[in-house]
Chains A and B, each alone.
Chain A
Amino acid sequence: MAKVCQYCNKREAKIHFTEIKDGKKTEMHICESCAHEKNMVLAFPSLLSHIVKGGPATPRAESEAVPATCPSCGLAYTDFKSKGRLGCPTCYEVFAPVLVPLLEKVHGTAAHAGKAPERMATMIASKKEVLALEEELEQAIQAEEYERAAELRDRIRSHSEGTDDDAAEGDRA
């Protein structure tokens, strides 16, 4: 007998898969229309199977769903799957659920450990300083040292102006 979609409970389920979450298997049955509506293609293990080859299964990759296309560049997930090339920087965020296990397989990890562009390093340093200044400001206010507080506030403000400029430069189209 045909199974009914677990999302809409109306249409006939056409997509069947086993979700493995925290080691627990759940059979899933979804209709095409619900799958389409949720804008997802299921990340079936086929993407990884040829790479994994005898390695431990990655349950997360089997259960997670990703959007059918990247909203920024329009790359279809199926295209990435077949050609192995991403379309734009945003693809890395959008397809992260399948990308992370893939990167772990290829590189042994999915976390960058190399250099950062200087502008990033400056931004991170600046953020840290602002946090320290804000803490000082808090203390100054509590100690009712208003002159010092005003000075600290100005310094924080000059920082945020600086980073706004950086951001604007980084975002320019």
Chain B
Amino acid sequence: MNLDELIGQSGEWLRGAGPESDIVISSRVRLARNLVDFPFLTRASEEQRAEIHRSIRGGLDKVGLGRNGHVYIDLADETDEMTSRFLLERHLISRELASGSGGRGVLFNRSEMLAVMVNEEDHLRIQAIRAGFQVHEAYRDIQWIDDKLDRDLGFAYSPTFGYLTACPTNVGTGMRASVMLHLPALVFTKQIEKVFASVTKINLAVRGFYGEGTQASGDFYQISNQVTLGISEDGILDLLTRVVPKIVTYEREVRDHLLDKDRLKLEDKIWRAYGLLRAARSISSEETMDLLSAVRLGVNLGLLGNVEISTVNELFILTQPAHLQRLEKRDLSANERDATRAEFIRKHLGF
């Protein structure tokens, strides 16, 4: 498998399946781990970094993740910055890994439900992504990998502090469980701040579309556990299981309310967005995200019957700059990108 095979498609988690998938786009769980025999990356020499990289790649091979539809991208070998950005846009790597240097890389499988980052902030970031609301299932997907790799590589662990991580905010379980929510109605009615205020009070964090420090875009928000120590893995997953359905219900109630009381305004917003996307000859990434969000809402409310939800989901990713350039197989100027994007969207929405 090579990266070009991924171009025209998206990860399994964007296909629009899974529980509550009208609002919960995806569930992801990641575990931060470090090898006990090496310093963390900030204190590792170039040689140690390379050795960590080698050991982990060996470990991944041993547990059977080196074959059968798995691909490993060695980012140190990639001189092309576009590859990192492409992987970043697909949520397969973090910004930290993309902008890093030295021995590092990512392993993922064809469905893109598994992604293992090597030498990010920690030696290992093992991540599972599932469509819809499936945090427990996502954790199950990687639990065995964690156990098997530990047997082979030996992870840094203390009975007092748990799994030891470079940043004390990740120590303990080393687990970050998050769900990506699409909350256009709560944004539209300005109820979203209320949700954030109550969520942050119970040790959950709210982040943007591309994680920590990013802007919310297309009305997407990621909600994840803030605390990793003093709580068990199940405790973290249960916290999300208790809170997320409440937000989902709230979003649905507001949608119903809008349909009931403000139908014309809502329909107008959705159809205008659809019309613009089908007609535009040049469109920015930002505008695309906004309009797609309205279209996505329209599809989920049954107002736009002829559009597939998977098409809309995929467009959020496939219209990002690095994806367009990979598709065109060349660097594009900002103007060229906007034109290519508009054409790509028109084609996918049936024109």
Q: What is the interface of chain A, defined by CB distance below 8 A to chain B?
A: 72-75, 83-89, 92-93, 99, 102-103, 106-120, 169-170, 172-173
Contact = CB atoms under 8 A, between A and B. Distances in A.
Interface in B150-183: 150-151, 154-164, 166-169, 171-173, 175
B39 A88 contact: yes
25 contacts: A75-B42, A84-B168, A85-B121, A85-B167, A86-B167, A86-B168, A87-B42, A89-B36, A92-B158, A99-B168, A103-B168, A106-B168, A106-B227, A106-B229, A107-B230, A111-B229, A113-B162, A113-B230, A113-B235, A114-B162, A114-B175, A114-B232, A117-B157, A119-B150, A119-B151
A89 to B, nearest CB: 4
| Residue among B43, B157, B203, B231 with the highest chain A CB neighbour number at 10 A | B43
B224 interface: no
A31 B197 CA distance: 49
A106 B165 CA distance: 14
A72 B48 CA distance: 14
Contacts of A103: 161, 168, 171, 229
For the complex of A and B, 10 pairs with smallest distance between CB atoms: A112-B162, A109-B230, A87-B43, A114-B173, A107-B229, A88-B39, A89-B156, A73-B43, A73-B39, A117-B150
Contacts of B230: 107-113
A102 B161 CA distance: 12
A85 B39 CA distance: 12
Contacts of A93: 158
Contacts of A85: 40, 42, 121, 166-167
B172 A89 contact: no
B94 interface: no
Interface in B227-263: 227-233, 235
Given A103-B229, A113-B230, A113-B232, A88 B43 contact: yes
Chain B interface mostly helix, strand, loop or mixed? loop
A115 B160 CA distance: 12
A92 B174 CA distance: 15
A66 to B, nearest CB: 14
B34 interface: yes
Contact of A113 (B147, B155, B231): B231
A107 B228 contact: yes
Chain A interface mostly helix, strand, loop or mixed? loop
A75 B41 CA distance: 12
Contacts of B172: 107, 112-114
A173 to B, nearest CB: 6
A89 B229 contact: no
A75 B168 CA distance: 15
Interface string B69-106: 00000000000000000000000000000000000000
A167 B87 CA distance: 39
Given A106-B168, A112-B162, A115-B173, A83 B42 contact: yes
B158 A115 contact: no
Contacts of A83: 42
Nearest to B235: A113
Nearest to A74: B43
Given A106-B227, A106-B229, A170-B36, 8 more contacts: A85-B42, A85-B121, A88-B40, A107-B230, A109-B229, A110-B160, A113-B232, A114-B162
